[in-house]
């Protein structure tokens, strides 16, 4: 390749199709008025923003745009495929100018001329070295890389920027995790400062392209339909208003005028709940306001139905906001709640594994948050729950007070769209407890609960191919079936019907992170 770069090598970004253009047919076909009634994503469909974004498989050094991004080390001497291509095409003057910069710290961005490149400028940045135990620091540093590049482009009035994948392979950052940070940071920047920049190009290799194709719809949905379809796959941490990773333990909330009433004091006095300011107290202390006062007002008939609904919705939204910002990875790792296939009516099937819930060892408020985080987008449409009570002990039994709290907190859509609860392998005690709970504690749930003594009964409602079974559930059911059936092959027949045997059973958990 000619080190000066022949003009024919370079690619003008204005000739590349935008991300929004790649979905034109479905945009026109699917965005009906009915879809606007669904819950909106925190990254809603925005045709203008999508028109500024380009996904391009190619060498970032070949882009003809205002600036391209180079990923390097602290000495700006890193040798990786991206930087080597940039150095080769830019020519020897680039190395001389880099020496004048005297390095670049992790997360910073520094500017040089493009020299013989088609791009006028090169923005150099240093991605973090990734170690799982320092994940939070790595996330913050990678966010700073993307944010500082965009801020520099804004300050220099650059109309277009070509991003390489900043997290170089030798620094060990997991590609998918890094891509989430890259996309949401760019998305938030374009929402806030979109008028200052016309094009952002993600230049990716063949290996990187599939990950970007998979995750771009989460942050840049190209229709209301794609927005709704992408909602369940957003991670737990979607960052703050600028895409920066949120670290809950570092957050301290202080009222603008401590001791003074908030703007919505009048509503609070009507019993609509108080989002109390706090320093260092647990987040849940402010979730529900003065419950006793609210109940007293309800009994006295002083809360209208509309005010009651508004109070409940505000309370649920606070829980949902907290669920999206808190690190729930410890709860997710239990694999106690996950999405699997669909039932015979095409409704989403959610699985709860009782044995995987160590009630006495975990923070049950965090468990409640995790349930809300996973289920908020599922409950928008009809769904069913399969609860495996199999081999649970007294340490796994969910307290009726916890279940009542959960039922009271969740949005109305949870109750409306829940069509069935399949209680698998119940005991006599659990049947009695369920009857009391659904009769005296909650309303409208009793007729939806179905006790299922064997998986054969469950298969009449849900095909075995549509459920990811924990291995111990299948093994237990096979043993019970063998004891109760005159045919000794009943247990193995059940496993074959499920398409699984013994230790080859794997739970393909679809977890929200």
Q: Are 158 and 121 in contact (CB under 8 A)?
A: yes
What's the token pair of residue 215?
């995750």
Q: What is the pLDDT of residue 208?
A: 95
Q: What is the pLDDT of residue 293?
A: 53
Which of 473, 463, 467, 464 is closest to 502 using CA atoms? Answer: 473
DSSP string for 259-280: TSPPTTHHHHHTTS------SS
For domain 314-481, is the CATH number 3.40.525.10? yes
Per the DSSP assignment, residues forming a β-bridge with 121 are 67, 113
Residues 6 or more apart whose CB falls under 8 angstroms from that of 43 comprise: 184, 187, 218, 219, 220, 221, 227, 234, 238
User: From the centroid of its chain, how far is CA 509?
Assistant: 15
Q: What is the pLDDT of residue 240?
A: 87
Q: What is the pLDDT of residue 487?
A: 54
Q: What is the pLDDT of residue 48?
A: 94
Q: What is the pLDDT of residue 247?
A: 63
Candidates 3.60.150.10, 3.40.220.10, 3.30.70.360, 3.40.50.720; correct CATH number of 13-21+41-233? 3.40.220.10
Provide the 3-class DSSP secondary structure of residue 136. Answer: helix
DSSP string for 188-238: HHHHHHGGG-SEEEEEE-HHHHHHHHHHHHHHS-SSHHHHHHHGGGS-S--
Cα angle value 49/55/60 (rounded, 5°):
120
Rama region for 458: left / alpha / beta (φ>0; ψ in -120 to 50; rest): alpha
CA distances from 502 to 277, 356, 425, 465, 498 (A): 53, 19, 19, 16, 11
Residue ranges in the chain whose pLDDT is less than 70: 1-8, 23-38, 247-306, 483-513
Q: What is the pLDDT of residue 385?
A: 96
Q: Are 39 and 313 in contact (CB under 8 A)?
A: no
Q: What is the pLDDT of residue 261?
A: 45
What's the token pair of residue 188?
């938030």
Rama region for 203: left / alpha / beta (φ>0; ψ in -120 to 50; rest): beta
Q: What residues does each domain of the chain span?
A: 13-21+41-233, 314-481
Q: What is the pLDDT of residue 111?
A: 96
């Amino acid at each position: 390749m000619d080190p000066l770069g022949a003009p024919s090598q370079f690619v003008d970004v204005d000739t590349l199709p935008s991300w929004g253009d790649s979905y034109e047919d479905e945009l026109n076909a699917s965005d009906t008025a009915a879809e606007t009634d669904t819950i909106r994503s925190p990254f809603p469909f925005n045709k203008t923003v999508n028109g500024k974004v380009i996904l391009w498989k190619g060498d970032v050094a070949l882009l003809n745009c205002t600036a391209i991004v180079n990923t390097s080390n602290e000495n700006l001497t890193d040798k990786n495929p991206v930087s080597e291509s940039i150095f080769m095409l830019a020519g020897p003057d680039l190395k001389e100018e880099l020496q004048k910069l005297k390095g670049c710290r992790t997360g910073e961005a520094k500017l040089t001329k493009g020299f013989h490149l088609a791009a006028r400028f090169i923005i150099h940045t240093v991605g973090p070295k990734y170690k799982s135990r320092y994940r939070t620091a790595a996330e913050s540093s990678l966010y700073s890389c993307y944010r500082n590049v965009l801020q520099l482009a804004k300050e220099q009035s650059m109309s277009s920027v070509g991003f390489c994948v900043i997290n170089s392979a030798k620094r060990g950052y997991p590609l998918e995790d890094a891509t989430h940070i890259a996309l949401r940071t760019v998305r938030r920047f374009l929402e806030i400062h979109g008028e200052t920049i016309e094009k952002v190009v993600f230049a990716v290799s063949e290996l990187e392209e599939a990950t970007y194709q998979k995750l771009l719809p989460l942050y840049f949905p190209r229709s209301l339909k794609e927005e709704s379809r992408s909602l369940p796959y957003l991670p737990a941490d979607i960052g703050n208003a600028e895409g920066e990773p949120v670290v809950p333990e570092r957050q301290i909330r202080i009222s603008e005028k401590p001791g003074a009433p908030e703007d919505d004091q009048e509503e609070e006095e009507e019993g609509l709940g108080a989002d109390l300011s706090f320093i260092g107290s647990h987040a849940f202390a402010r979730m529900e306001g003065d419950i006793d006062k609210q109940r007293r007002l309800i009994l006295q008939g002083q809360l209208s139905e509309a005010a009651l609904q508004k109070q409940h919705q505000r309370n649920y939204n606070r829980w949902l906001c907290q669920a999206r910002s808190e690190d729930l990875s410890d709860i997710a790792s239990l694999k106690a709640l996950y999405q699997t296939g669909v039932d015979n009516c095409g409704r989403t099937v959610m699985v709860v594994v009782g044995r995987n819930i160590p009630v006495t060892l975990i923070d049950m408020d965090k468990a409640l948050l995790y349930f809300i985080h996973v289920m908020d987008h599922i409950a928008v449409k009809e769904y069913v729950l399969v609860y495996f009570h199999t081999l649970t002990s007294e340490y796994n039994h969910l307290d009726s007070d916890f279940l009542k709290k959960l039922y009271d907190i969740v949005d109305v859509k949870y109750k409306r769209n829940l069509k069935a609860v399949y209680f698998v392998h119940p005991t006599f005690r659990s049947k009695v407890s369920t009857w009391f709970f659904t009769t005296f504690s909650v309303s409208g749930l009793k007729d939806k609960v179905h006790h299922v003594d064997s998986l054969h009964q469950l298969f009449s409602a849900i095909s075995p191919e549509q459920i990811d079974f924990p291995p111990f559930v299948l093994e237990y059911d096979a043993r019970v079936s063998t004891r109760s059936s005159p045919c000794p092959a009943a247990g193995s027949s059940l496993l074959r019907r499920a398409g699984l045997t013994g230790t080859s059973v794997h739970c393909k958990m679809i977890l929200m992170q």
